[in-house]
C-alpha cells in the first residue's frame, strides 16, 4: 500500500488519467489511511515505494476485499500505456483480492474505452451489465471474473 502521504500525488495522477471523474485528494487520504479496507498498489518511477520523497506514479490501482471484490480504480500514465504495465497491475490486484478471499472480482469500465475493455477481456473478465451515465460522458460496462480455485 502506498503511504498516506502519497494522497496528493495519487490525486494529481488520478486527475491526469481520469480528468473530471478523478478522485479528489480527500478521498485518496481516506483510501490510503491505515483504517481503509482496500488494497492499493502503485508502480513508481524513482526509488520505489519506500522512497523518502513521493516518486512519480506510473500506474495506480486499488481493490476492495471480500468474496465479491471490486477493482476500485486502475490507471496507467499515458506515456506508459501499451507496455504491459496495466496488465501487470491488474494481475497483482486480482491476486491481492484472491489472497483476501475473493471468489469473484468486479469492475466498471467506460463503455467506449476499447483498449481497457480488451485488457479486461484478455484477463478473463466478461460483461455482465451496464450502468447508464455512470461517468459524466459515458456509460459504465460492469464486468466480472470468477477467481474461485
> Rounded distance, CA 120 to CA 142, Å?
11
pLDDT tens, position by position, 6-19: 889 899 999 999 99
- Compute the C-alpha angle 68/97/51, nearest 5°: 140
CATH of domain 4-146: 3.40.630.30
Q: Considering only CA atoms, which of 73, 75, 144 is closest in space to residue 115? A: 75
pLDDT tens, position by position, 107-131: 999 999 999 999 999 999 999 999 9
Q: Where are the domains of the chain?
A: 4-146
pLDDT tens, position by position, 80-110: 889 999 999 999 999 999 999 999 999 999 9
Tell me if the pTM is above 0.85. yes
> Rounded distance, CA 50 to CA 72, Å?
23
> What are the φ/ψ torsions at residue 101 (nearest 5 degrees)?
100, 15
pLDDT tens, position by position, 16-64: 999 999 999 999 988 888 766 788 888 887 644 444 445 578 889 999 9
Length of the chain: 149
Amino acid at each position: 500500500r502506498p503511504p498516506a502521504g502519497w494522497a496528493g500525488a495519487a490525486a494529481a495522477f488520478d486527475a491526469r488519467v481520469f480528468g473530471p471523474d478523478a478522485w479528489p485528494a480527500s478521498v485518496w487520504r481516506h483510501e490510503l489511511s491505515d483504517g481503509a479496507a482496500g488494497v492499493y498498489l502503485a508502480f513508481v518511477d524513482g526509488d520505489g515505494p519506500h522512497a523518502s520523497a513521493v516518486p512519480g506514479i506510473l500506474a495506480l490501482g486499488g481493490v476492495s476485499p471480500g468474496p465479491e471484490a471490486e477493482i476500485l480504480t486502475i490507471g496507467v500514465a499515458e506515456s506508459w500505456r501499451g507496455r504491459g504495465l496495466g496488465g501487470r497491475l491488474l494481475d497483482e490486484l486480482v491476486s491481492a483480492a484472491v489472497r483476501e478471499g475473493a471468489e469473484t472480482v468486479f469492475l466498471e469500465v467506460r463503455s467506449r474505452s476499447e483498449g481497457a475493455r480488451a485488457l479486461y477481456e484478455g484477463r478473463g473478465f466478461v460483461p455482465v451489465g451496464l450502468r447508464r451515465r455512470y461517468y459524466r460522458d459515458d456509460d459504465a460496462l460492469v464486468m466480472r471474473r470468477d477467481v474461485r480455485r
